[in-house]
Structure 1
């Protein structure tokens, strides 16, 4: 019962992270592409027409930050990268224990990161810090990263509990 609940929550966290990563990637590429085209227009008109997006670099940077953290969480359900040359030579039980250990360590790291980003988000909220160009509250971004770190921790925890068999040299 508890394992199935954790697994369902993990699947939901993976799907949500994948959707967030996809949206952030599309947004980032749209901002960059639009600014490249408008920069060409800006240069071609001798600086007379300026349609560039204010704070485009800042927008792309924060979108990339959210994209990377969400993609990291989403990628964990398909297994970690391993060096097959070494892993395939290990007995199956050692492979299972190793992958469970790595997922457990990933969970601990994700929880430490979540605590750290969450703490920083609280500080930024209390101070009222904002982004440089767009004057958006910085705590929004730190809170989003905190949530993604918690998703990573949940997915890693689920994988650490459910890695049960070896198929084609990989645990699933």
Structure 2
């Protein structure tokens, strides 16, 4: 019962079998600052540090059910959202956020792997911008993701 009262971060994202990114890295980072995590897995990937070999998307209802179960079982202080993979998963995640508006959400949009493989299906950016971003208090894209989200040219440098 003590675990239920400790603050948690609900991590919503995909796996990375190499451990270089995704939920494995999120758990490690959040744990390093002394906070517990709970999970909703959006996709399973087979990847190395150099390439994404295979991606299996979770059913949207499974993602939503994992989120609801974690939110009901724990004192979730915030939700950290990473890889969402499909427009249908984005819509399902947004629906859960609307059910739990008191829990702030951070969106770290994962659009492609470091090796360049798309991790969000074509056309899903519109759903992310329309359905999910307005429900998040912070959005943390990197520069290439920012260009894709805004439909602008990639920045030539950080300025």
- Which category of TM-score, normalised to the shorter sequence, fits these structures? under 0.3
TM-score relative to the length of structure 1: 0.25
Larger RCO, structures 1/2 (Cα 8 Å, 6+ apart): 1
Larger radius of gyration: 1
TM-score relative to the length of structure 2: 0.26
Structure in which a larger fraction of residues adopt helix: 1
